[in-house]
Each structure stands twice: as C-alpha cells, then as structure tokens.
Amino acid sequence: MSASPRPAVLISGASRGIGAATARQFAAAGYDLLLLARSGSELEALADALRPLGSRVETRCLDLSDSGAIAPALEELLQRGLCPSVVINNAGAAYTGPLAEMPLESWQWLLQLNLTSVFQLCQAVLPQLRQRGGGLIINVSSHAARNAFPEWGAYCVSKAALASFSRCLAEEERSHGIRVSTLTLGAVNTPLWDSATVHSSFDRRAMLSTERVAETLLSLAQQPSSQLVEDVTLMPAAGVL
C-alpha cells in the first residue's frame, strides 16, 4: 500500500519570529510547507534548513501590505501541487502613537497588514479547502482585541476586527467543513518589538517565547476535525505587558 500523503500547512509571516518557529514545529511533525514572507533571503534560508527534515517546502516572497500582489501570488503558490489542510494567518505589524496624530497612510498600512490581507488570503485558499472537503484556518490575534491600550489604538482596532472576521468566517464556512480558530496572544518576544513603528519599554524576558506559541498552533492543528477550539488565549505568567 502506498503511504498516505503528508499534510500541508500554509503560513504567512514565515521568515522569522512566530512564523519561523511554527514552520519548524510543523516540519518536525511531518507537514509539508507553503511559506509566505516579505524577506526572500530569510525565507529561503529557513526553507533550506527545513527540507532535510523530509518536508517539501514551497516559498513565495510577498509583501502583504501590497493588496494588489496577494491574489496572483497565492494563485501561483497554490498551483505548485501542495493543497494545505491548515492555514495560519500569522503575518502582522504594530504601530504605537496617539490616534489623533496617526497619519492616514499609517492607519491604512496597519489595517491592510493585520486585517485586509487575512481576508484576501482566506479568499484565495477557500476554493481549495472547499474542494478537499474542509480544513482549518487559524488567525493569530492579540489580547489587544479585547482591551484598550493608550497609543496602541490602531493595533487594538485591527485585532478586534480580526477576531470578528474569524467568527463570521467560521459561521459562513461551517457547511463546507472549514473550521476557523483564533489564537489570542499576550506579548511574545519577536522582532515586532524592534520595528521602527513600535516604541515600547516592556521587559522582553517576561514575554512568551515563539516556540511555546508554535507548539500551541501545532496543537490546534492536530485537533480532530469533529471538534473546534474556537479561541485559545495564551498569556505570559507575568500578566499583561
């Protein structure tokens, strides 16, 4: 008898931080990988490190802030022969500053990355998920979706909208066997904190590690298709940072 085909996972923001840790976890668990990221060099370095584990790895360099590039990039990637059973929308960004002073272009950039690109990516993969009879979409969110933090207003709005999007998509796609989960995170020690758009003095040593987040994503993916974990909240033991 021929071996069963390996499952495949599609991960956005895969070149570093949570995305890279998640790619490593899923490769070790026997998944093939479709990886998206803005940094082509980092993405290819990760792919080269993962292929010896036995995974087939397909990559696509894509800037999710470019709304017009998303659909054609996903179409090209999905035509390479791997059909994901799990889709992890991990890519995102943050911005700190008063709402009253935030430039419109910065607002639109953040909403495109944290919300609209997820909508676009889901639209691109839903036909394949429906055709294969179902699958799991995991949207990575933040406890900022449920709280108001001064100077993090735009980020809070984007994540609150993402949580609502996840719930609505779950209801619409349930009849197609497609499940939608949200992973709600407290502060995670990732390169996000080094971004030019983020100014913070949080103690990064007290934050969640990317490896623990990746383990949680793999656990969600390994749930039986007969059940759905709608939302998992993972916070640092130190509390809100």
Just list the catalytic residues.
155
- What span, in angstroms and rounded, lies between the C-alpha atoms of 57 and 33? 5
CA 145 to the chain's CA centroid: 15
- What span, in angstroms and rounded, lies between the C-alpha atoms of 17 and 70? 21
Local structure of residue 66 (DSSP, 8 states): -
Sign of CA dihedral 199, 193, 140, 187: negative
Tokens of 123: 């639209």
Ramachandran sector of residue 35 (left: φ over 0; alpha: ψ -120 to 50; beta: rest): beta
Do 169 and 108 touch, CB atoms closer than 8 A? no
Alpha carbon dihedral 158, 114, 112, 103, in 10-degree steps, equals 50
CB-count burial class (<10 Å; 0-12, 13-18, 19+) for 201 = exposed
